[in-house]
Amino acid sequence: MHEDGSRRQFLRAAGAASVAAAAGSAGCATVERTLFGVPGRVDVDGSPAASADAQFRGGLRRRGVYPEATVPESVTVDWRLPEVNTGDHTAAKASPVRAPTGDVVVPGDTGELRAVTPGGEVRWTAETDTDGRGIHGTPAIANGAVYVGAYDGALYAIDLETGERYWRAPLGGAIGSSPGYRDGTVYIAVEFHPPDGSMFAVDAVTGEVEWEGERPTDHPHSTAAIDREAGRLVVGSNDGTLYAWTYPDLEFEWAFGTGGAIKGPVAAHDGSAVFGSWDERVYRVDLATGEEEWRAATDGLVMSGPSIEPSTGTVYVGSHDSRLYALDLATGAERWRFDTGGRLLGCPTVTAESVLAGSYDRHLYAVDKREGTERWRIAADGWVTSTPLVTDDGVYFTDRASSDYLEDGEGPTGALYRLEAA
């Protein structure tokens, strides 16, 4: 199907060689190592975990809903960690996740990955081999490792305790999506140049490629969703197509076309995939057949990933038209819309009472999820395109570098923020 098959084979061979070389020199702290092969590491049986401790949007279905979480009635900035994002790439920036250690792990478009305590102290910093646009995907955490892709086209496994690298698996030209983890395998969408792409399944312990989908015909910047009950893995692509494979067999099943690029994450629920397209619409598609169930129009491109709340039957999603939408999950009918004054690229986070969403107007908003009215907003220095993280100790988000910094290097860089009750 692809003209660059030899290149793919070369990259796969290079990845295996990199892992093999790393395993042979595991005594050095600066080289890559295989998980469970570190001297002095305590592990019960050396087998990988069944599920992740944390991953983008709360799990493989990417629904972005946390029914037990709450946010304060009003908030203030507790601290701001600078120099997380410094570039001008227009995609949504990576988002923080909470590690079982209690730290927040945050990637940046500098190519660095940090573990930060709730007090704002950087416990370790890990570097990738990127040169320019860095990391735009959000990590998955499992097996005491942080898995993340970067714009050098490689998937990384980083020791959660120390920040040291276990392995680096070069897969393609760039990775802008977030990994998914299940049963010792990491699933990631990978971009190739010229425009092309693949879905990969990578061994979480060794970094070796287990499977390659070889299906998208343009860059898959979208983050895949896996619905185990429906037996599907689905991912969008810049060619405007949603691709589906069986899961866990990974046999190609169907493709669904839209009129624009599918750049945002896909969400799955109750046998359906919900996602946005740059044709200014939100879609719900049957996972079994690939048939359209409904579409809902907005007045702008949709790069935001939908949040699906089963208890209220609601889909929450942002648009480039500056609005946050609440749609009926069954029909796609609009329930309310909330205007932020700037484009919404990132994904909303849904809590017990609120929807949190960042905007190009340089604010993070908390919106009452039933009424669609503002609860509070907090100002940032740059565009807010990350997905907010709500924990029992605060609200975390990142922004992008300020326009002053991008123009002359003198203004604020993009940062990690921690909010607390005012």
Residue-wise DSSP of 328-372: ETTT--EEEEEE-SS---S--EE-SSEEEEE-TTSEEEEEETTT-
Q: CA 377, 381, 386 angle in degrees (round to 5)?
A: 70
Number of structural domains, the chain?
Answer: 1
In a domain, 406, yes or no: no
27 inside domain: yes
Residue 209 placed within a domain: no
| CA–CA gap between residue 258 and residue 278 (Å, rounded) | 9
Domain CATH for 43: 2.40.10.480
Residue 192 has pLDDT above 80, yes or no: yes
Residues 6+ apart with CB under 8 A from 402: 381, 382, 411, 412, 413, 414
Write out pLDDT tens, residues 281-325.
999 999 999 999 999 999 999 999 999 999 999 999 999 999 999
Out of 208-217, 283-292, 338-347, 394-403, least confident range = 208-217
Q: Taking a C-beta distance cutoff of 8 angstroms, is the pair 137, 177 a contact?
A: yes
d(CA 136, CA 179): 11
pLDDT band at 15 (very low <50, low <70, confident <90, very high): very low
Residues 103 and 111: their CA atoms lie apart, in Å, by 19
Question: Does a structural domain hold residue 418?
Answer: no
Handedness of CA 13, 16, 18, 21 (dihedral sign): negative
Q: With beta carbons less than 8 A apart as the criterion, state whether 115 and 124 touch.
A: yes
Determine the Cα angle at 411 with ends 409 and 415, to 5°: 105
Asked whether residue 405 is assigned to any structural domain, the reply reads: no
Residue 5: inside a domain, yes or no? yes
How far, in Å, CA of 316 to CA of 352, rounded? 14
pLDDT at 24 over 60: no
Q: In terms of residue numbers, what domain contains 158?
A: 1-57+96-183
Decide if 120 is inside a domain: yes
Q: Give 413's contacts (C-beta < 8 A, 6+ positions apart).
A: 82, 83, 84, 85, 86, 401, 402, 405
Q: What is the pLDDT of residues 374-409, one digit of tens each?
A: 999 999 999 999 999 999 999 999 999 999 999 988
Output the CA–CA distances (angstroms, integers) from residue 212 to 172, 228, 253, 381, in the order listed.
Answer: 11, 19, 15, 40
Residue 134 lies inside a defined structural domain of this protein: yes
- pLDDT above 50 (res 31): no
